[in-house]
Chains A and B, each alone.
Chain A
Amino acid sequence: SAVISQKPSRDICQRGTSLTIQCQVDSQVTMMFWYRQQPGQSLTLIATANQGSEATYESGFVIDKFPISRPNLTFSTLTVSNMSPEDSSIYLCSVLRRGNTEAFFGQGTRLTVV
């Protein structure tokens, strides 16, 4: 497994503000993803974080709302922009190592927007 550090672990934010979540991995991984888990729901993929280029977003998610960066193989950020209470969720970073098919997850960021 990979050691994944995700920060912050939780935050309470005012509506209209933005929050940037960081995901740091202990070794190089091939793929990094960001998922959202709304309260009481399952996980939904937001986007694939691509190293050195724009992220690939899933249907229903747009770059203006969820800008993602991945400057190198071990680090990525997800920003939740112009937040509203509907953005209250757990956001999880996920990684894949080369040659593996199972994804490992960070501990998640529990976001509450008030």
Chain B
Amino acid sequence: AQKVTQAQTEISVVEKEDVTLDCVYETRDTTYYLFWYKQPPSGELVFLIRRNSFDEQNEISGRYSWNFQKSTSSFNFTITASQVVDSAVYFCALSEAGDYKLSFGAGTTVTVRA
């Protein structure tokens, strides 16, 4: 069975600070996919990034970056120079090749204060 753990329940920062969200996962599959989603107060779930298990290269996309380390089963996500509009609940999720069903972490609530 797959499992996703987000140990941080809430993070509060002042605008322009960086925010790093932690995610640790468990899976028996060798091929799997990791995701970060954002859920603003309006409630919709917005896809942010995806990483495949066979690609550990870390990337930056605008103000978002991620650090995927298979050795520690971690998939951390960083928002650089945070803005008030980044305030939301962020979910880490995992799916295994073949069924694409998502297992979500508990979510981390990020509050960015002006």
Interface residues of B in 44-88 (CB under 8 A from A): 44-47, 50, 52
Interface residue? B25 (CB, 8 A): no
Interface residue? A107 (CB, 8 A): yes
Cβ-neighbour of A45 out of B37, B42, B101 (below 8 A): B101
Interface residues of A in 64-111 (CB under 8 A from B): 90, 92, 94, 96, 101-108, 110
Check if B44 sits within 8 Å of A96, measured CB to CB.
no
Interface residue? B102 (CB, 8 A): yes
- Which residue of A has the minimal Cβ distance to B44? A107
Contacts of A48 in B (CB 8 A): 99, 101
Question: How many residues of A are counted as interface, with CB atoms below 8 angstroms from the partner's CB atoms?
Answer: 24
- Which residue of A has the minimal Cβ distance to B4? A42
Check if B43 sits within 8 Å of A110, measured CB to CB.
yes
Check if B47 sits within 8 Å of A108, measured CB to CB.
no
Check if B105 sits within 8 Å of A102, measured CB to CB.
no
Contacts of B102 in A (CB 8 A): 33, 35, 43, 45, 94, 103
User: Known interface pairs A42-B107, A43-B91, A43-B104. Does A102 touch B45 (Cβ–Cβ under 8 Å)?
Assistant: no
Count A-B pairs with CB separation below 8 Å.
54
Determine the interface band of chain B, counting residues with CB < 8 A from chain A: 20 to 34
Check if B45 sits within 8 Å of A92, measured CB to CB.
yes
Interface residue? A53 (CB, 8 A): no
- Which residue of B has the minimal Cβ distance to A58? B101
Interface residue? A31 (CB, 8 A): yes
Check if B101 sits within 8 Å of A101, measured CB to CB.
no
Cβ-neighbour of B44 out of A42, A45, A102, A105 (below 8 A): A105
Where the two chains meet, the residues of A that have a C-beta atom closer than 8 Å to any C-beta of B are 1, 31, 33, 35, 41-45, 48, 58, 90, 92, 94, 96, 101-108, 110
List 12 additional contacts besides A43-B102, A102-B35; criterion CB under 8 Å. A1-B47, A33-B102, A42-B105, A42-B106, A58-B101, A90-B43, A92-B45, A96-B100, A101-B50, A103-B47, A104-B47, A107-B42
Where the two chains meet, the residues of B that have a C-beta atom closer than 8 Å to any C-beta of A are 33, 35, 37, 42-47, 50, 52, 91, 95, 99-107
